[in-house]
Homo-oligomer: A and B are copies of this chain.
Amino acid sequence: MRTVLRSATREVVIGGDEPFCIIGERINPTGRKTFQEQLRRGDLSRVEVDVAQQVAGGAMVLDVNMGAPLADEVELMRRAVRLVQGVTDLPLCIDSSVVEALEAGLDAYEGKALVNSVTAEEDRLEAVLPLVKRHEAAVIMLPNDETEIPEEPRRRLELVERLVDVATGRFGIGVEDIVIDPLAMPVGADTTLVNRTLETIHLVHERFGLNMTLGASNVSFGMPDRAGIGSAFIPMAMALGLTSAIMDARAADLVRSVKAADLLLDHDPWGARWIAAHRARQEREQQAPG
């Protein structure tokens, strides 16, 4: 399956035969007090730094979330999308729980965006999927509904099936434009949770061959040495069929683990990118003082 995303001038493909798609998570006020205050004042100056750092780190798509408490999320999303598209040619992932913010982001966006996200709740499907269709976007879909976030991977698989049926049958969205989020939970809350995520990835991959993405940072939440956990988790999930993650693209350890897994899964012909990245790192180290 190939999910094609586009900015005005650049195309990025998410797929099982492609390098893993690193979606930069950083443009998001959650847990960032200073950034939240800036957004309440309508100050988007921080966003340019976030873009630059993520591009330097290896992001291939950038998530944009403007959900700060008491801020005008709709207006901020419109402005942020324009601002980010003015400074990078990476495609964007328009991220909000507010339908009007998704709509404002999609209206402002030039290209084919990824919408983050919609659950299997009926009213959400009815509100979000027409937007996705009208803007010819791709969409991240979560297998939880009104009644539950299912623990059992097989129940999640049933919801995935329903999501695919509704998106393709009722709304005419192409199956290649569906990206499933298999629901990554903190291992620190319950050490059985990640097994369920991995099993869900395996089932969705075997059964539907759909592209998948998830919030990789969730997994290590609350634990020490988060980079160590994330650097193991992403390759594990990739081995089972995960094709993308919303992650900290500024974290060199994490990005290196993605690139190593790309090499091992034969998504880096001749290892050329792995070797080039190693050389670039060596050159930077030689140039660095001390």
**Residues of chain A having any CB pair with chain B under 8 Å:** 187-188, 191-192, 194-195, 198, 219, 223-225, 228-229, 231-233, 235-240, 256-257, 259-261, 263-266, 268-271, 274-275, 278-279
With A187-B271, A191-B269, A271-B187 in contact, do A264 and B232 touch (Cβ < 8 Å)? yes
Whether B194 lies near A265 (C-beta < 8 A) is yes
- CB-based contact B219/A264 at 8 Å: yes
Residues of B within 8 A of A263 (CB): 187, 191, 223, 229
Copies in the complex: 2
CA distance A236 to B228 in the complex (A): 14
A188 to B228, CA, bound (A): 25
Q: Is the CB of A232 within 8 A of B219?
A: no
Give, as a whole number of angstroms, the nearest-CB distance from A236 to chain B. Answer: 4
Q: Residues of B contacting A268 with CB < 8 Å?
A: 191
Nearest residue, chain B, Cβ from A190: B266
Write out the residue numbers on chain B whose beta carbons fall within 8 Å of the beta carbon of A235.
232-233, 235-236, 239
Decide if the interface of chain A is mainly helix, strand, loop or mixed: helix
Q: In angstroms, how far is the closest chain B Cβ from the Cβ of A18?
A: 15
Q: Jot down 7 A-B pairs with beta carbons below 8 A, ordered by A.
A: A191-B263, A191-B268, A224-B274, A228-B256, A232-B235, A233-B264, A239-B240
Give the distance in Å from the alpha carbon of A235 to the alpha carbon of B238 in the complex.
Answer: 10
User: Contacts A187-B271, A256-B228, A269-B191 given: A236-B261 contact, CB under 8 Å?
Assistant: yes
The interface residues of chain B lying within 8 Å CB-to-CB of A232 are: 231, 235, 257, 260-261, 264
Q: Which residues of B contact A270 (CB under 8 A)?
A: 191
For the complex of A and B, list the 10 residue pairs with the smallest distance between their C-beta atoms, beginning with the closest. A232-B260, A236-B239, A224-B278, A232-B235, A194-B264, A191-B266, A235-B236, A232-B261, A239-B239, A225-B278
Additional 14 contacts, C-beta under 8 A, given A188-B271, A198-B265, A232-B264: A191-B270, A194-B265, A195-B264, A195-B265, A195-B266, A225-B274, A225-B278, A229-B274, A231-B232, A231-B257, A231-B260, A233-B260, A236-B236, A239-B240
